[in-house]
Structure 1
Amino acid sequence: MSGTLGQNPSPSPLIFKKLAAAEKQQQQRQAASRASAQRSRHNAMRHYAFRRLRFPSDDELASQSVSWPPCSRC
């Protein structure tokens, strides 16, 4: 190997492999975190919708004011 340190004309291909692997790993991590965020958002919406169906708030109950027909006995 001729030449002094710092005059290396081409960096070793191992560096490129490591860079590519690190970049790929980062992309996988980002995809996983994005999927996790979507899942948690989805679960939160499902939970909210379920709670609204099962346990309507007082405002919703008041707005649904059921008008009963007049009692035939009164």
Structure 2
Amino acid sequence: MKMSEIRDKSFTELQAAGRDLRQEMFNLRLQQASAQLEKPARLRTIRKDIARIETQISALRNKSAKAAK
């Protein structure tokens, strides 16, 4: 997922996307543990997408906190 796509999403959409990615990462880890993982690079991609989403969520929280002051 590109950062430009992430910036276009709302706070609730970002939270939902983060939840979905975490669930997918959990499933991939289970597959990796049982040696059934076909694309191990997908773990890295998902981990980076989660980080991008968390960064944007943090930025939105900071922006709303500054606006509230």
Shorter-chain TM-score range: 0.3 to 0.5
Q: What is the TM-score when the length of structure 1 is the normalising length?
A: 0.43
| Higher Cα Rg, which structure | 1
Higher relative contact order (CA 8 A, sep 6+): 2
Q: What is the TM-score when the length of structure 2 is the normalising length?
A: 0.46
